[in-house]
Structure 1
Amino acid sequence: MRRREPLVPEMTPLIDVVFILIIFFIVTSIFKKEELALLLNLPSSSAKELDIEEEQITIELSEKQLAFRGEEVTLEVLEDVLKNIEDKKRAIIVRIDEEVIYKRIVQVLDILQKYGLNNLALVTKKKIDDSE
């Protein structure tokens, strides 16, 4: 009598298929680049986080620098760009370093208000609760 060999699935083609799928998903996925240019030390806050799903405008402000959508600009350039925005309801995400003087913050807020861009969100880092 002949011995029957157990049926074992061949693993090589399965591994090949898995690697091809992994490569396919990596190549076809879109990696979102955050539009951040400045290294900021954000103030802490215990406010809840809001989700903004629409296309947004990012402004970053440090003591000596200003960035719009990840590129350093001057206040004059920022004003030129903001006055051309047609959708006044678009979300404006403002990241401000905690060391920035109030006068500099007001300059940026004045430009936003001048062109009716009032859908504003100030970004902070999450406050760590010391009581726990």
Structure 2
Amino acid sequence: MRRLVKKRELISMDLTPLIDVVFLLLIFFIVASEFKKNETILNLSLPASQSSSQIVKKEEVVIEITKEKLAYNSKETDFLQLEESLKDIDKKRALIVRIDKEVKYERVVKLLDLLNKLSLSNLLLVTKEDKK
């Protein structure tokens, strides 16, 4: 006589739907995230303004200026190197200029004179939004 022996089945949870959900969430957060390069190298305290903002995307040229430092496209530079860098750019290209509110007027004039000398007049002066 044979005895019928029942084998016990191990009960386990199917993890496939859980893994699918995790991958879907991962894909969602990757797609929904905005990856932004660091636009500024200098720590600036911008003055406030109530005017509307304008966004320029293509091939931005960013100039930042503080009391002691000057930066061109997120790289520290000086006025001589800046002049060399700006000689060959398109004259109609927008220049985004970020000026710290503590900068002396003579440094701003020096920068504006340099840009005028190179016939670069398409300037966008960046300010922070005034919350009034």
Q: Which amino acid aligns with 2:52?
A: K
Change in Cα spacing, 1:100 to 1:14, as seen in structure 2 (3 Å) is same
1:19 to partner: Cα distance = 2.8
- Are the counterparts in 2 of residues 62 and 96 from structure 1 also a CA contact under 8 Å? yes
Cα-to-partner distance string for 1:70-98 (whole Å, 9 max, x where unaligned)? 1110110101100121x221111000011
Normalised to the residue count of structure 2, the TM-score between the two structures is: 0.78
Quote the Cα distance in structure 2 between the aligned partners of 1:96 and 1:78: 15
- Are the counterparts in 2 of residues 54 and 91 from structure 1 also a CA contact under 8 Å? no
Residue-pair matches, total: 118
What is the aligned-residue RMSD (CA, Å)?
A: 2.2
Residue identity over aligned pairs, in percent, reads 44
Normalised to the residue count of structure 1, the TM-score between the two structures is: 0.78
Instruction: Decide which structure has the larger Cα Rg and report it.
Output: 2
Q: Which runs of 4+ in 1 moved over 6 A?
A: none
The corresponding residue for 1:72 is: 76
Q: Does 1:126 align with 2:129?
A: yes
1:22 to partner: Cα distance = 4.5
Cα-to-partner distance string for 1:36-72 (whole Å, 9 max, x where unaligned)? 1111111111111112232210110000100111111
Of residues 46, 62, 73 in structure 2, which corresponds to 1:42?
Answer: 46
Of residues 82, 86, 111 in structure 1, which corresponds to 2:86?
Answer: 82
Q: Does 1:108 align with 2:86?
A: no
User: Unpaired runs of 5+ in structure 1?
Assistant: 1-9
Change in Cα spacing, 1:66 to 1:11, as seen in structure 2 (3 Å) is farther
